[in-house]
Structure 1
């Protein structure tokens, strides 16, 4: 699809954020501005898919300011949204540009608006048919608000989707790891109990080894003594039989 009018997008952007010239703040005119801007062609601005410096996604920065800040990336994106929804012919933005050009003339606010309105009617020409009705300005301004609200709805939906996918996935992992840690902690308790039981048994076995070794050694000694007694007795009888039974 065709690209939107980038010069219009930059012009709209300058209404809301600081211009590129140092020291020019929002709503203040450029140093050289002293007359209403020339009308732009009345052909409608194409409305392709949103183009911005980069994908407008909910997750962009690691540091979070709880009150938010005016982000140049989002500012350019929203300016492009407005440019894409710009109707044909002069409207709120031409009036806004005319009003801004009067800001350095030292007029009071009401005089600035009245002068901008007179200049805008001259700029618009037959569009109003000589009518002094300014509803075309409020209607188109409200149309831009509606376009921004629609874009915001889409952005909020993408935020919720990102939260569900990214944060939800992290929360599920968090719960799984917590469950694993609880299970491992219980296993550690059981393992420690088993270690303590084994240690106690090892202590008991050491005593039993000493006791059983002593018993077995004593039994062997008793056996050897009994065995020697039997052997000596038999040998004694053999000797006596050899002596007395010739």
Structure 2
């Protein structure tokens, strides 16, 4: 069976996290060469070693809020493989869970620096590559919180709403160049991040926190990173060649309420 992304070049930011790793696995399985970008050198090295595919995998350390570092990772991918066909703009932080009035200016700046500035810079430097080749797919990771309010997560919700605006506008600007830009909106996923959130909310009984969160998801559970990765493959491949500027919920039914 022909693989959907045979010979394509993909870049994933936030690659060392649970979702980034699952997406990398799926991209490699579909025949792509994959550049893994993350700020955590140790976690990135471990991930590269896990894949053990020096011909088709490269690891790049970058602080995505720093413009020169974003520009650098894009240039290094193009230098090695000559193109970028898929950009999984995935890195982000959840930030502090607290009422809006308890969030600080420092909390705001930290959130916007990665979850908005980092997404913007990635699009800014990847788009010229895709425009030049007149082809490409950008997938921005937003959240269910990017389509609705999220009590206790005002800054995260605001940042993820901003990702939608960047997605729609970029899609309009580059449609003439056959470049597609879409966003995905997962519900909470089974991951170390959610375990940390559960602990931060109720260190004595994190299981109760999980029960409360999953009770808001009609399917009654957290999503699995592998489930989101399958949606990414669809949006990265020619199966979605007439789709751009769209927001894809993968949220266990949360948006149906």
Same fold (TM over 0.5): no
More helix per residue: 1
More strand per residue: 2
Classify the TM-score, shorter chain: under 0.3
Q: Choose 1 or 2 for highest CA Rg.
A: 1
